[in-house]
Amino acid sequence: MTIPIDLGGRIAVVTGATGQLGRRIVRTLATAGADVAVHCRSDRARAEETCHDIRALGRKAVVVSGDVGTAAGVAEIAAGVRAGLGNPDIVVANAVQQYTWTTILEQDPEDFESQFRTCVLQSVLLAKAFIPAMAQRRWGRFIAINTECSMQCLPGQGAYVSGKRGMDGTLRVLAREVGPDQVTVNQVAPGWMISDKYRDGGESNPAYERTVALKRRGYDQDIANAVAFLASDLASFISGCYLPVCGGNVMPTI
């Protein structure tokens, strides 16, 4: 017996869709049947290439741009999604500001602010932009990409963890607030995944793999599969979840 993930007739928007995980997520959602708005901040050429791949699957795709950490930027994204595809049923908050990691004592305070803006504030602004229409239809999926680092709290992770743990708390509250409208809110927490950046010769890292229960690294497709599942009707009774996809490297407790 096969239980398919069917997103036919759904509209999705994925922020940070030109990144390592983002590209795999949008292609997987399209393969499952969704039309997809591909967000980028600056790499429009790669976004257009990703849209071409989606259209080759027989789905609609548009490029949208804007700074996810500002109200004006998210308003620009929302306008582009609605003009190109309509109100989305699925929102995937995947974008995050990149920066150089160091100790908290040495980290530039602006890095903490950038993580707040692109983790916590992005989630809040996307929710404000898109969840009201989901609530009216009484169906919606809000999925954010967190990280195993939120549970590790290792040296050098301070700014990143501050943003992602703040996002976690915000989204758990949001899950309770919008649950009555049949909108689910969940998080997928990747480990150190193998993506295009590492596929050619950089897949193995014995020091990291020793800490993983499955003794190997996972793939970007594993993250995309989890997102597609949470976006589907198969996950209609799952909300408020922090789902590690990291081979058992971190394990939430009860």
Q: Which of 99, 160, 198, 219 is catalytic?
A: 160
Partner residues linked to 13 by β-bridges: 37, 91
**CA neighbor of 13 nearest in space, from 91, 86, 85:** 91
Bridging pattern class, strands 183-190 and 61-65: unpaired
Q: DSSP strand E in 161-214: where?
A: 183-190
The answer to whether 99 is a known catalytic residue is no
State the amino acid at position 231 in one-letter form: A
Radius of gyration of the chain (CA): 17
The SS3 assignment for 175 reads helix
The SS3 assignment for 46 reads helix
Active site residues: 160
